[in-house]
């Protein structure tokens, strides 16, 4: 073989960093994760230089996340939106994003389930936005994004309930 792998044909079939990490390796997984976060961060961050209104940022964020989750390049089957969402929300809501990322890290370290960490993190985003006083529009947008990301994790949720979800071991022995 030529060393090329279509990530959608191995492992979970998902094009996200977790599957890349499991099936190709740590380096490729880290690059995929960084690329997905930057894919969310860069357009939203630079959009604020064009128009600093929250509504404009949300429009760019929604387009960015939709383009990632429902990409035309993969027949409208893209990623689950977690890493790209981290980038998007880091650009417009840094503190709630940092808290959500911390919650992801804590849940992942304790459980070894990326999906559970992701779900807990996106649930925390609208809650922290509300409690930090971000107002109705950010809370509504983060709630909508959380709902969509959780919906994209429906098969993971089913596997979590059935106790058949795969754990991710970063420092596994060979």
Q: How far apart are CA 144 and CA 123, in angstroms?
A: 10
Q: Which two structure tokens, joined as six digits, stand for 124?
A: 């925390």
pLDDT reading at 54 higher than 50: yes
Q: How far apart are CA 47 and CA 102, in angstroms?
A: 26
Which pLDDT score, from 0 to 100, does residue 171 have?
A: 59
Scanning 93-113, the segments in alpha helix (DSSP H) are 94-111
Is residue 1 a part of any domain in this protein?
A: no
Q: How far apart are CA 96 and CA 109, in angstroms?
A: 20
Is residue 169 a part of any domain in this protein?
A: no
Domain that holds residue 48: 17-162
* pLDDT (average), residues 38-65: 94
Is residue 9 a part of any domain in this protein?
A: no
Is residue 3 a part of any domain in this protein?
A: no
Between residues 31 and 73, the one the model is more confident about: 31
Is residue 40 a part of any domain in this protein?
A: yes
**For the residues of 74-85, what is the DSSP string, one character each?**
GTT----SHHHH
pLDDT reading at 133 higher than 80: yes
Which pLDDT score, from 0 to 100, does residue 1 have?
A: 44
Is residue 170 a part of any domain in this protein?
A: no
Instruction: Enumerate residues 6+ apart whose C-beta is below 8 A from 152.
Output: 69, 80, 81
pLDDT reading at 174 higher than 50: no
Number of domains in the chain: 1
Is residue 6 a part of any domain in this protein?
A: no
Nearest 5°: CA angle at 69, between 149 and 103?
Answer: 35
Is residue 58 a part of any domain in this protein?
A: yes
């Amino acid at each position: 073989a030529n060393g090329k792998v279509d990530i959608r044909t191995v492992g979970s079939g998902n094009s996200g960093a977790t599957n890349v990490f499991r099936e190709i390796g740590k380096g490729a997984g880290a690059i995929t994760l960084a690329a997905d976060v930057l894919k969310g961060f860069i357009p939203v961050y630079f959009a604020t230089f064009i128009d600093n209104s929250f509504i404009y940022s949300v429009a760019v964020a929604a387009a960015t996340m939709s383009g990632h989750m429902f990409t035309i390049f993969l027949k409208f089957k893209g990623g689950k939106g977690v890493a790209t969402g981290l980038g998007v929300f880091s650009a417009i809501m840094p503190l709630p994003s940092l808290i959500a990322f911390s919650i992801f890290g804590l849940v992942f370290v304790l459980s070894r389930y990326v999906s559970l960490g992701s779900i807990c993190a996106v649930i925390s985003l609208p809650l922290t936005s509300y409690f930090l006083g971000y107002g109705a529009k950010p809370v509504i947008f983060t709630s909508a994004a959380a709902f969509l990301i959780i919906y994209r994790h429906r098969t993971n949720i089913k596997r979590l309930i059935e106790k058949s979800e795969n754990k991710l071991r970063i420092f596994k022995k060979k």
